[in-house]
Chain A
């Protein structure tokens, strides 16, 4: 089973600043990585798939990069609605799909 490790656990950022979230896979997953956003009391929402392709309706301030074992989600200028928990998920070697433990982006 592939283990996904996200860092940091919590990221404190001021509105308008850039946020950079990291995700590492325990072995190469090519570009088979997705990112999800989850706000309190809501279901996860797909942001990025294929490591760098934005899902339908996702604003351009969200971007994904990386391949192999190292991946990054960047939010270029944080808006108030972006404060949430973000999860990465691999779908290269499945089953099982595996998720990272999440990064909470909070207001500084």
Chain B
């Protein structure tokens, strides 16, 4: 079955950097768009970024644009999120999600989710 396992979270000071990883298994990774979604402690869900199958197209939430970079390595079945210039408000559990539906037709949504990796930004 589909498995998504995130790693790379931790404690970092404001202005610092982290690189999150998500290792996928149980399906053909290169067939699917992928996304990062975050959830601040005790709060709701916030979409962060997504990437298409071949890394040709990426997009970001305004809150992270210019600071975060999404990427993928289809040969290694892995998704990444490089987070720079971190802020206190970036503190959250970061989920990796496989995107379901028909993105080329504009109709897709997070299907399967990993368990998340916690990023804490504090001085």
Contacts and interface: CB of A to CB of B under 8 A. Distances in A.
Interface of A: 32, 34, 36, 42-46, 49, 55, 87, 89, 91-92, 94-102
B54 interface: no
Interface string B79-97: 0000000000000000100
Contact of B47 (A42, A46, A92, A95): A95
The bracket for how many chain B residues form the interface is 20 to 34
Contacts of A89: 45, 109-110
B110 to A, nearest CB: 7
A91 B45 contact: no
Nearest to A85: B44
A43 B116 contact: yes
A102 to B, nearest CB: 5
Contacts, number: 61
B116 A91 contact: no
A99 B100 contact: no
Contacts of A45: 113
A23 to B, nearest CB: 13
Interface residues of B, dominant DSSP = strand
Contact of B100 (A49, A94, A96): A49
Interface residues of A, dominant DSSP = loop
Given A49-B100, A95-B59, A96-B61, A43 B46 contact: no
A91 B59 contact: no
B95 A43 contact: yes
28 contacts: A32-B107, A42-B115, A44-B45, A44-B113, A45-B113, A46-B109, A46-B110, A49-B100, A49-B109, A55-B111, A87-B44, A87-B45, A89-B45, A89-B109, A91-B107, A91-B109, A92-B107, A94-B47, A95-B47, A95-B59, A96-B47, A96-B62, A97-B109, A99-B44, A99-B46, A100-B44, A101-B44, A102-B44
